[in-house]
Structure 1
Amino acid sequence: MSATNRTRTDILMRLEPYWKMEAANAILMPVMILFLSKGQVSWISLVPMAAMVLLLVIGALYWRGKVRQLKGQTKGWSCLLMAIARLKLPALVLVLAGCMTALAGWIGADLPIGTADRWAATGSAALAVLEYVNYYHRQVQHFDNKADFKRMMAGKGFRPSWMARDLADLRRKG
């Protein structure tokens, strides 16, 4: 096996689980939040939770498409990227709305159901922000790849995310 094929195989082995993990998290995270909060959530939590779920779904779709592209199954890849590009602004608006509702839950004593609602909103908003940055801008996830982790620990900053690079390529090809 050539070095290129081995590298591609290694990359595919590392990336294949991503889409499944993101899709599972789109379901499991809200369920876990509802469980931990004993169902005591209101719109204060539901708005940032919706943002978080949207970004996890975008991530699942992106990684599934990326794996297919790396396997040479490129049909629909550019359409998927165009859809993801069109979702950037609505996702950002939803993330910002989620952050505002989470903040409102801490400021307005009568808005949340209780402390669990506040924490559910805050956690969901934080995860939504991280997912938005991680997909549309900079790779903030470095725990799954030794080289990425070493780069971060060496103070070399956060590199553009895979999706951000693919979207930039799409814009250049325009």
Structure 2
Amino acid sequence: MATKTRADLLKRLDPYWKMEAANVLFVPAFLIWLSDWRLSWITLAPMVAIMLLLVIGTLYWRGKVRQLRGDGGDFSVLLRCISSWRQPALALTLCGCVSAMLGWLVPSWSAGLADRNIATGCAVLAVLEYINYYHRQLQHFDNRDDFQRLLAGKGFRKSWLARDIEVLNRPSTSPKRLDFD
């Protein structure tokens, strides 16, 4: 693997937080438009779960970029906050899955097939975002080295947020290195 400079890393990572922030608005707006404004409550929980996870991603990547630039302040404070949102994000994601499932079990609770499909899609996306941030890096299409690693059969690596939280939670005798390996 080629040696990456801080500038290379910043160039690759800086757009992430902007993309996540834009998607907090664009994903729900697109789905509402796609449904022709006919969504019911079954879509609300999984859609809110996606939005929360995108906000978490926005804050994390912006904080990470600022840390790499040397103007991030106390990155560990942000990580503690994001870590504390882990359980609420999981609970909301699971509620979204139940909500979407209820739309299929009791079709009269939904606003129609589009509503049930969008609720299901949102639930799946929320689960994938949760895993991608708090457990395993699922996104491999935007970085050649990551994609080659995946194709080589080395599996999914621990997500960068999960690694940073792990370092943050190490006993205080360990050095607190919050960066990319």
Give the alignment's TM-score, normalised by structure 2: 0.91
Query: Which residue does 1:91 correspond to in 2?
Result: 89
> After TM superposition, where is structure 1 displaced by more than 4 Å over at least 4 residues in a row?
none
Aligned to 2:115, which of 113, 117, 124? 117
Query: Which residue does 1:18 correspond to in 2?
Result: 16
Q: Does 1:146 align with 2:144?
A: yes
Matched AA of 2:109: L
Matched AA of 2:41: W
* Equivalent residue pairs, number: 171
Cα distance, 1:96 vs structure 2: 0.3
Query: Percent sequence identity over matched residues?
Result: 58
1:152 aligned counterpart, secondary structure: helix
Cα distance, 1:74 vs structure 2: 3.3
Aligned to 2:30, which of 29, 32, 35? 32
Aligned to 1:101, which of 99, 110, 120? 99
What stretches of structure 2 of length at least 5 have no aligned partner? 173-181
Alignment deviations for residues 79-110 of structure 1 (CA, whole Å, 9 cap, x no partner): 11000000000000000000000011111121
Cα distance, 1:72 vs structure 2: 1.1
Q: Does 1:41 align with 2:64?
A: no
Alignment deviations for residues 43-98 of structure 1 (CA, whole Å, 9 cap, x no partner): 10011000000000000000000000111123131111000000000000000000
Matched AA of 2:115: D
Relative to its length, the structure with more helix (as a share) is: 1
Query: Which residue does 2:163 correspond to in 1?
Result: 165
2:109 aligned counterpart, secondary structure: coil
What stretches of structure 1 of length at least 5 have no aligned partner? none
Mean Cα deviation higher: 74-83 or 88-97 = 74-83
> C-alpha distance in 2, partners of 1:54/1:9?
29
Give the alignment's TM-score, normalised by structure 1: 0.95
> C-alpha distance in 2, partners of 1:63/1:158?
19
Report the aligned-residue RMSD: 1.3
Matched AA of 2:18: K
> C-alpha distance in 1, partners of 2:98/2:163?
29
Matched AA of 1:98: G
Query: Which residue does 2:65 correspond to in 1?
Result: 67
